[in-house]
């Protein structure tokens, strides 16, 4: 059983390094796609929610399995920062989906598309704020 655990770790960690790098770059890529759709009024392909799901799976495994998460817990802010980036990417991806609906099908006006995208981003940011208020990364002094 120990051999399988180490074998899985040998496969997991190189993939996780790529996931970390890709997660750090992904919000900039999504922002660029959003800007292109608004500028040129042409929809883009949007497989980002699937990619975010896969990234979330690897981050979840690193957080829940102590053996796999040891290197990432050494850098104390890495896993929470990756969580926040995933939430931001989810918000941008939902906003991009709403703007793509405008550019592709003309479902609503450009102003409504931008407003709905901004509301989606604000709603997810508020949800993230509530999550970290309810379950803080660092213990508050009165909670010990």
Q: In this predicted model, what pLDDT tens digit does every residue of 39-87 receive, in sequence order?
A: 998 988 878 889 999 999 999 998 898 888 888 888 888 888 999 999 9
In 3D space, the residue among 41, 55, 64 whose CA is nearest the CA of residue 83 turns out to be 55
Residue 6 is inside which H or E element, if any?
helix 2-40
User: Is pLDDT of 144 > 60?
Assistant: no
- pLDDT score at 63: 87
111's CB contacts (< 8 A; 6+ apart) are none
- pLDDT score at 68: 86
If you ran DSSP here, which 8-state letter would residue 62 be given? H
User: Is pLDDT of 26 > 90?
Assistant: yes
Give the DSSP letter string of 103-128: HHH--S-HHHHHHHHHHHHHHHHHHH
- In this prediction the pTM is 0.85
Average pLDDT over residues 100-125: 92
């Amino acid at each position: 059983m120990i051999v399988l655990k180490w074998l899985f770790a040998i496969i997991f960690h190189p993939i996780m390094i790529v996931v970390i790098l890709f997660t750090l770059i992904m919000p900039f890529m999504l922002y660029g796609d959003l800007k292109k759709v608004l500028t040129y009024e042409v929809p883009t392909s949007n497989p980002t929610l699937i990619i975010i799901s896969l990234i979330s799976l690897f981050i979840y495994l690193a957080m829940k399995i102590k053996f796999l998460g040891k290197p990432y817990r050494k850098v104390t802010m890495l896993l929470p920062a990756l969580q926040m980036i995933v939430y931001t990417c989810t918000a941008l991806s939902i906003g991009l989906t709403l703007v793509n609906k405008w550019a592709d099908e003309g479902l609503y006006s450009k102003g409504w598309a931008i407003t709905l995208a901004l509301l989606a981003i604000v709603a997810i940011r508020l949800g993230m704020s509530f999550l970290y208020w309810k379950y803080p990364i660092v213990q508050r002094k009165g909670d010990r």
